[in-house]
Structure 1
């Protein structure tokens, strides 16, 4: 189910690898619609990491909800699942040789703030991050450059008097042009 208001969007899903790519596209499209293009890459990466964590760790199932909300210049992306265990940021996660456990470190690096809390009114947890949207710069009007080529005037044609007798006698017109009637 997808529902959204002007600046709020909620998507319920199974956190399976094929669905994670679809959610990235939904988040990107929603941010484009809200004209928050500068946030798309970071938001898409962050939601991918959080959904990957649900896929790897959430028990008993992979059902979750992704919620994005834009309010007062701040985008908040939340992933809610039914597993009550809160995630822990691993300090060694940024070791270059590690292949697992880097998701929350990436979320921390790409966001202004992030956190996790138990879900209010039910089992499970909410893991979230937020991004600040810089106001769109107002571009100064740029002068429009119009390239133009000078229009060539049509060649002027000169009227030439041709002696009809010279033309019928086999003289060329060019030859008769220089001849004076006499």
Structure 2
């Protein structure tokens, strides 16, 4: 289910690898709609990391909700799941080839603030991060000057047969004239 209000978007999903790319596109499209293009990359990366954590760690199921909200110049991205275990930020001591364990550290690095809280409406938790929101710069419109120069109407010509034996003669006509056969 996807629901939208002017500055609020909620998506419920199963945090499966095939769905994470779809959620990235939804978040990107919503931020583009809100004219927050400068935040797209960071928000999409952050939500990917949080959904990856739900996929790897959440118990008993992978059902979660992604919520993005723009309020008072601040974009907040939240991932809500039913696993009551709260994640802990681990110091990044992994080797250069390590492929996991950096999700929350990455969220911390890309956001202005982040946190975790227990759900108030049942078991589970909310992991969120926020970014300062500034609308995408709009390119200034430059005035366009158009120089209009009147162009004289071309002279019209009418072909009149003067004598059937001689060739036809072309005479200039200054304005539209109705010629009757005669």
TM-score between the two structures when normalised by the length of structure 1: 0.75
Deviations 1:21-66 (A, max 9, x none): 0000000000000000000000000000000000000000000000
- Following superposition, the deviation at residue 100 of structure 1 comes to 1.1
Question: C-alpha distance in 2, partners of 1:73/1:7?
Answer: 11
> Contact 1:13/1:19 (CA < 8 Å) preserved in 2?
yes
Q: 1:131 to 1:93 in 2, by over 3 A?
A: farther
- Following superposition, the deviation at residue 87 of structure 1 comes to 0.5
- Following superposition, the deviation at residue 137 of structure 1 comes to 4.2
After TM superposition, the structure 1 = structure 2 runs for residues 99-178 of structure 1, keeping only pairs within 5 Å, are: 99-137=99-137, 140-142=140-142
Bigger CA drift: 87-96 or 13-22? 87-96
Question: C-alpha distance in 2, partners of 1:18/1:145?
Answer: 52
Q: 1:18 aligns to what?
A: 18
TM-score between the two structures when normalised by the length of structure 2: 0.75
* Secondary structure of 1:41 counterpart: helix
- Following superposition, the deviation at residue 99 of structure 1 comes to 1.9
RMSD between superposed Cα atoms in Å:
1.8
* Secondary structure of 2:11 counterpart: strand
Question: C-alpha distance in 1, partners of 2:117/2:142?
Answer: 49
Unaligned runs of 5+ in 2: 147-182
* Larger relative strand fraction: 2
> Contact 1:94/1:105 (CA < 8 Å) preserved in 2?
no
Aligned length: 146
> Contact 1:93/1:105 (CA < 8 Å) preserved in 2?
no
Question: C-alpha distance in 2, partners of 1:101/1:6?
Answer: 35
> Contact 2:35/2:135 (CA < 8 Å) preserved in 1?
no
> Contact 2:8/2:70 (CA < 8 Å) preserved in 1?
yes
* Secondary structure of 1:90 counterpart: coil
> Contact 2:82/2:123 (CA < 8 Å) preserved in 1?
yes
Q: 1:134 to 1:94 in 2, by over 3 A?
A: farther
* Secondary structure of 1:123 counterpart: coil
Question: Runs of 4 or more off by more than 3 Å in structure 1?
Answer: 135-146
